[in-house]
A and B are shown apart, each in its own frame.
Chain A
Amino acid sequence: MVSPRKLRSKDTTNNNSTLLYDFDNINEYISNDKPIGITKKASDNHYSWFGIMNKPLPTKQIDIIEIDQILPRRVQIDPLPSSKYEIFHRKMRKDEKQMINEEKDRNFYELDILTSELQTLNQYNWEKRLCQITKVNDPRDTSELELKKQLTINEIEKILRKSENWRKRNDLFNNKFKNYVRKETDESDEDYDLPLEEVKLKRKNERRLKYGPKVKLNLGNDLCLIIDPFGIPKIVKGHAAITKSKTQSPRKIVREMPKSKPKEVIKKEVHVPIESFKQKSIKLENVTKDMKIDFKNSGDEVLFGTLSNNLPTFANGFQLPLNVRRAKK
């Protein structure tokens, strides 16, 4: 008779389904941008990661009958005013909010757990905890443990950052919601009668008011850092004219630049000042004495590579520090 007792290391019932992370099972083409070679040959050995989607479609008979509506000619009072739906919709909204809040509470609880996991991983007994939350093939292999620890920490930090980002957006939205004053208008939308170009310009200005303008910083050597609220910061060549003129604003100069001159986007081949570009993601406490931070701050009026008076301000109040502005006066 076989004994039911067995070593824990031989226990196959304890599978990895309860683990939070499995870094062995990640797709390299998605996570590590592994190149996919191109071949001219045909093949029937199809690659499958997600599994081909062959779910049967639910059959829906499109049963539509066109009818002739006979509407009354003279109606004095609307039998369906908005107030008629108010009580029921308010009650249902409250119920739904309650459901969503319960879900939020559960998420906050999970975030708390993740925060404590992160703390444990930064303590002396992290190896033990790591094996409980992340799939580790060989617990005696220190290099694997170190790698998995780092990957787990990165993943937890990513989720915590995401949650922080959500919290900030939530606060902004709640502010907007509180400050909104409802006004119902019966008038036709004037945008229909405007030329499309004019409406586009109007929208552009609305966006600028909402998210702030595109910020351009002259880095010298004909290079300019462009920070777009919708895009990734880019370093562009060919914007040296911004600081050469003292009378015009940078935005005006950019607008007047000849369109024939193509803007060359530089990715990796940046020559000078290399350190300053790398420092985009560097923390202040990591800045050492031997690093060169050159914003070409040559004159009194030039700050961060542009005229201080011409630095655009945000609609919601971004301005230069008060002492800098006072000093200018």
Chain B
Amino acid sequence: MSLIETQTNNEEQNGNSNSNGKALVSSTKELKIKEPSFYGVLNKPNIEFVYFGNYKISPWYGNAAYFYPQDLSHNLLGYEYANKVALDPLARKRNKETDNQEINTNVIWLENLFVCPFCFKYTANQHEGNQHQVLCKCNKYRPNIGKLVYYDSTSNYIIREIRGFQHPLYCQNLCLFGKLFLDDKSIYYNIDHFNFYVIYGMESDKYIPMGFFSKEMLSYDVENNLACICIFPPFQRKKLGTLLIEFSYELAKFTPGQYRSSGPEFPLSPFGQISYLSYWSKKIANVIYKMKNKKSITVAEVMKYTGFRKEDVLLTLENMKILVQEDLDSSVLLSIKNFENWCQLNNLDPSIEVKYLNEECILI
């Protein structure tokens, strides 16, 4: 048992022991917190629709972190409740007294949430949201927040590095919005030691954020090159996730401690696992193709060529079903025939190295 495993388990336990979690369990009968749960996680979406620029989206997951933990009625967003209490300190006491009558037992806490498509500020009031969009400081032809790290003017994609401690509100709001489409996100506000890499794409003559990944700069495990990744639903199926994954490996080349090998933080979500396995398989297929005339290969050799962790390499080879074993005690072999079948099945030419990033445009 390593300390890292302990940390992961601790995180789960922490979610359970959180006072916010307890309050919610007691307050809602239909909407129970997941067991074991993470802080902020609900088992059903608690917001019916989210308006994000020109899109009206149904959230995939619930997010309790938009709401004030002690406000059991959930009538107001967290910032509205906090401001109300700050203006009238007696309101908290009055609310406590009436809480028993006002407990919101509905699955849906809020019908519509309006999120600014430039800075992710949120409100429950459409008029306010629209007015803000006009004056939003991030509402520009090309984004200027953070640092430019990728600029492909041909396919019109920009990636910007935004540091948590430099732009806290932007990153907090980004995390809160991302949670609506991520199952197990657990940090939304204390984001000082995270860097966010936001991908912007061209839409309606403007670059707008389409997804992001975060990287913990103070990760206990130096090899973690990605903490969480999310492509917002309207912009999915454009291979942006794979582009960001490839970018995370490029970034690792310039991160001390990640030069040899790196990978995403475990455990991966089911969607994350599918995306990563697909990416790793395509990259490793090219390496195996180059080494297929050798008598043997090692996992370390594949790691050296790809920059993937050894565990990820073995997991991918196993998932591709190209590692075979005559019986349980015999040595493992890599079957070239199985490899060719896999390539045929996945319609992949292993002689060509698949690249999702334009290398000329990387500005790390």
B350 CB to nearest chain A CB (Å): 14
A191 close to B148 (CB less than 8 A): yes
Shortest A72–chain B CB gap in Å is 6
Which of A92-100, A255-263, A272-280, A305-313 lines the interface with chain B?
A92-100
| Minimum distance in angstroms from A33 CB to a CB of chain B | 5
Q: Which residue of A lies closest to B117 (CB)?
A: A69
| A139 CB–B CB distance under 8 Å | no
Q: Is B202 an interface residue (CB 8 A)?
A: no
Q: Is the CB of A63 within 8 A of B256?
A: no
Whether A33 touches B7, Cβ cut-off 8 Å, given contacts A68-B54, A80-B121, is no
Does B354 have its Cβ within 8 Å of any Cβ on chain A? no
- The CA of A27 and the CA of B298, in the complex, are separated in Å by 13
CA distance A66 to B204 in the complex (A): 13
User: Is the pair B81, A88 in contact by a Cβ cutoff of 8 Å?
Assistant: yes
| Interface-facing stretch out of B28-36, B239-247, B329-337 | B329-337
Given the known inter-chain contacts A38-B336, A42-B335, please indicate yes or no for A78 contacting B132, CB distance below 8 A.
Answer: yes
**Distance in angstroms between the alpha carbons of A220 and B79 in the assembled complex:** 66
Report how far A47 CA is from B148 CA in the complex, Å: 44
B166 in contact with A182 (CB, 8 Å): yes
The interface residues of chain A lying within 8 Å CB-to-CB of B110 are none
Query: Any chain A CB within 8 A of the CB of B279?
Result: no
Cβ-based interface call for B364 (8 A): yes
B300 within 8 A of partner (CB)? yes
Residue of A nearest to B260 (CB): A232
Q: Flag whether B108 is at the interface (Cβ < 8 A).
A: no
Q: Does A55 contact B (CB under 8 A)?
A: yes
Task: Say yes or no for A200: interface residue by CB 8 A criterion.
Answer: yes
Task: Check A192–B142 contact: CB distance below 8 A.
Answer: yes
- Judge whether A314 is part of the interface by a CB distance below 8 angstroms: no
**Stretch of A143-151, A160-168, A240-248, A294-302 at the chain-chain interface:** A160-168
State which of B2, B14, B270, B335 has its C-beta within 8 Å of the C-beta of A41: B335
Considering the complex, give the chain B residue whose CB is closest to the CB of A100: B190
From known contacts A64-B234, A89-B172, A196-B363, infer whether A40 and B299 are also in contact, taking CB-CB under 8 Å: no
Measured CA separation A209–B284 after assembly (Å): 35
Interface residues on A, range: 35 or more
CA distance A199 to B332 in the complex (A): 48
Q: B361 — which chain A residues lie within 8 A by C-beta?
A: 196
Contacts of A30 in B (CB 8 A): 299, 310-311, 314
Chain A residues 184-226 with CB under 8 Å of chain B are: 184-189, 191-192, 196, 199-200, 203, 207, 211
Say whether, besides A39-B334, A53-B273, A97 and B142 are in contact (CB < 8 Å). no
Residue from the list B83, B218, B314, B319 in contact with A88, Cβ < 8 A = B83
A128: Cβ under 8 A from any B Cβ: no
Known contacts A47-B323, A199-B148, A230 near B253 by CB under 8 Å: yes
The answer to whether B256 touches A103 (Cβ under 8 A) is: no
B-side contacts of A102, CB under 8 Å: 14
Q: In the complex the two chains form, is A166's CB within 8 Å of B220's CB?
A: yes
Q: Which residues of B contact A52 (CB under 8 A)?
A: 318-319, 321
**CA of A60 to CA of B292 in the docked complex: distance in angstroms?**
40
Looking at A20, A95, A159, the one whose CB has the most chain B CB atoms below 10 A away is A95
- In residues 22-77 of chain A, which contact B (Cβ within 8 Å)? 27, 29-30, 33-50, 52-53, 55-58, 60-73, 75, 77
Contact at A69–B323, with CB atoms within 8 Å?
A: no
Q: In the bound complex, what is the Cα–Cα distance between A15 and B360 (angstroms)?
A: 56
User: Is A169 touching B68 in the complex (CB atoms < 8 A)?
Assistant: no
Contacts of B131 in A (CB 8 A): 72, 75, 78-79
Cβ of B151 < 8 Å from any Cβ of A? yes
Ranked 7 nearest A-B pairs via Cβ: A42-B337, A88-B82, A35-B296, A43-B324, A47-B323, A63-B58, A96-B190
B residues neighboring A (CB under 8 Å): 1-3, 6-7, 10-11, 14, 18, 20, 39, 51, 53-58, 60, 65, 68-69, 78-79, 81-83, 86, 116, 121, 123, 125, 127-137, 140, 142-144, 147-148, 151, 165-166, 168-169, 172-173, 183, 187-190, 192-193, 217-218, 220-222, 233-234, 236, 253-257, 259-260, 270-271, 273-274, 277, 291-292, 294-300, 310-311, 314-315, 318-319, 321, 323-327, 331-338, 341, 360-361, 363-364
Taking beta carbons and an 8 Å cutoff, which residues of A are in contact with B? Answer: 20-21, 27, 29-30, 33-50, 52-53, 55-58, 60-73, 75, 77-80, 82, 84-85, 87-89, 91-93, 95-97, 99-100, 102-103, 106-107, 110-111, 114, 159, 162-163, 165-166, 169-170, 173, 177, 180, 182, 184-189, 191-192, 196, 199-200, 203, 207, 211, 229-232
List 8 A–B pairs whose Cβ atoms lie within 8 Å, in order of A's numbering: A29-B332, A36-B296, A43-B326, A46-B324, A47-B323, A71-B134, A88-B78, A103-B7
Known: A43-B335, A46-B321, A78-B135. 16 other contacts (CB 8 A): A30-B299, A37-B295, A38-B292, A42-B338, A43-B326, A46-B325, A50-B315, A64-B233, A67-B54, A80-B121, A85-B169, A85-B172, A85-B173, A107-B3, A177-B192, A232-B260
